[in-house]
Structure 1
Amino acid sequence: MTYRRASKRPHLNNTDRFLFVWLYRVGRPKVSMELRTLIGEMSRANRLWGAPRIHGELLKLGFEVAQSTVARYMCRRFGAPSQGWRTFLSNHADGIVAIDLFILPTVAFQILYCLVILRHGRRFWVSFGVTSNPTAEWISRQITEAFPWDHAPQYLIRDRDGSYGSVFVRRLCAMGIRDRPIAPRS
């Protein structure tokens, strides 16, 4: 069984096709050049503003534009947005201390653990301790003995060893030292 049209399809001439093409526009409306320059000026004048903030300000001014469009027409910033690790170390070298816990095998095939504390500014050994059983309490006591009174550094760099524990982190916070663990598996 086949279905047939009751009436035939109308034939379109070139004028009709041009009219349909002109009326049928796909996508979002074009963004005016004035709005593009305004978005660029706002992003250059306010470096800390991102696309959501500029989008909100444009909505307050009465411009109906999508946030993705604002992000597309913002001026591009080259370079890292924040300081890198090398810059951080050079800027704060006098206030940085590194701590590490490593293994010392003995002649009798026993294992001892050595804790080393170094100052980065002058590459100075602050303290070291040796034990056969490192605990978080022992490590936090070593930190307290290494930095008495108000000689504590600003930052402490350490690895993500499980032996440091929450007691050690709380002791650092109490002394006013900011903990900076390094990346895992580095």
Structure 2
Amino acid sequence: MLVLVSPDTVVRWHRAGFQLYWRRLSRPRKRVGRPPVKQQIRELIFKIVADNPTWRAPRIHGELKMLGFKVSERTVSRWMRHAPRHPDSAQRWMTFLRNHPEAIAAMDFFSVPTITFGVLYVFFVIGHDRRRILHFNVTRHATSEWIVQQLREAFPYELAAKFLILDHDGKYGAEVPAVIRSMVIKPVRTMVRCPWQNGVAERWVGSCRRELLDHVIVLNESHLKRPIASYLSYYHQDRTHYGLAKQTPEQRTPCT
């Protein structure tokens, strides 16, 4: 029996199969290690951080110990990174982005599933001033050496930005920030689990997924590069942007 289905249905089936495949591989085994931190302790850590912004993990750990809570200093340090930030810090970050758009670029990764349920990683660098993608590439294995080469291709000496926003991805290691500094660019790290601080890059990822990748099933690296390159041509020349006052990155001439 022949069954006719739409391309969107095939893509939806593939995404569902991809999720099921990796969910089974990632199925939790028997819990090992230390017990989870109680909510009371987490909230107390957050309160101490908010009331005493200059305190570090050793002092907070000592205070908790004196209060009768049994928790390690390493656990305190880990949960301090998740503490809600003061609104003034968000305001300072937004001021930094508004005052230096022509000098800021951002880099990031996003993953794309393949037809065989593998994962490809797309690396890109985007300029804040005109929202242009300065460079992109695709790989199955993103190492720090590979990332360094991509940065050298993204920033010819005369075109280098002054600031480069990046997150705390483990793929960067210590080598990538060191190379960025050697290029006379200041690496600016976002806070842990704060994707809004790299909002320009995150918005491009969302646009690329909604307008392109959600409608195709990728075979391999070369197959993924072709549609992204084609999409970038449209993105730069024809697609209008709210953040650019309804203009395009390459300043499309309106019809008269």
What TM-score do the two structures reach when normalised by structure 2?
0.40
Q: Deviations over 1:4-36 (max 9, x none)?
A: xxxxxxxxxxxxxxxxxxxxxxxxxxxxxxxxx
Separation of aligned partners in 2, 1:149 and 1:155: 14
Shift of 1:116: 1.2
Amino acid in structure 1 at the alignment position of 2:169: D
Structure 2 unaligned spans of 5+ = 1-87, 195-256
Q: Determine the structure 1 residue equivalent to 2:132.
A: 124
Structure 1: runs of 5 or more not aligned: 1-79
**Shift of the alpha carbon at 1:167?**
1.4
What is aligned with 2:106?
Answer: 98
Shift of 1:137: 0.7
Map of 1:1-186 to 2, 5 A cutoff?
84-186=92-194
TM-score, reference length from structure 1:
0.55
- Tell me the amino acid that sits aligned with residue 92 of structure 1: H
Deviations 1:128-182 (A, max 9, x none): 1100000001001100001112211010111110001111111101101101110
User: How big is the shift at 1:110?
Assistant: 1.2
Alignment deviations for residues 67-93 of structure 1 (CA, whole Å, 9 cap, x no partner): xxxxxxxxxxxxx69x71111101100
- SS for the counterpart of 1:185 is coil
Distance of 2:109 and 2:189 partners within structure 1: 13
Letter of the structure 1 residue corresponding to residue 120 of structure 2: L
Instruction: Give the SS at the match of 1:104.
Output: strand
Which structure dedicates a bigger proportion of its chain to helix? 2
Runs of 4+ displaced beyond 6 Å = none
Indicate the percent of aligned positions where both proteins have the same amino acid: 40
Offset at residue 105 of structure 1 (A)? 0.6
Structure 2 counterpart of 1:160, one-letter code: H
Computing the radius of gyration from Cα coordinates, the structure with the larger value is 1
More relative contact order, 1 or 2 (CA 8 Å, 6+ apart): 2
- Greater strand proportion: 1
Instruction: Give, in whole Å, the separation in 2 of the partners of 1:146 and 1:158.
Output: 14
Find the residue that maps to 1:150 and give its secondary structure: helix
**Cα offset for 1:102?**
1.3
Alpha-carbon distance between aligned partners in 1 of 2:141 and 2:103, rounded to the nearest angstrom = 29
> One-letter code of the match for 1:95?
A
3-state SS, counterpart of residue 171 of structure 1: helix
Which residue identity does 2:153 align to in structure 1?
Answer: E
The residue matched to 1:86 in structure 2 has which SS?
helix
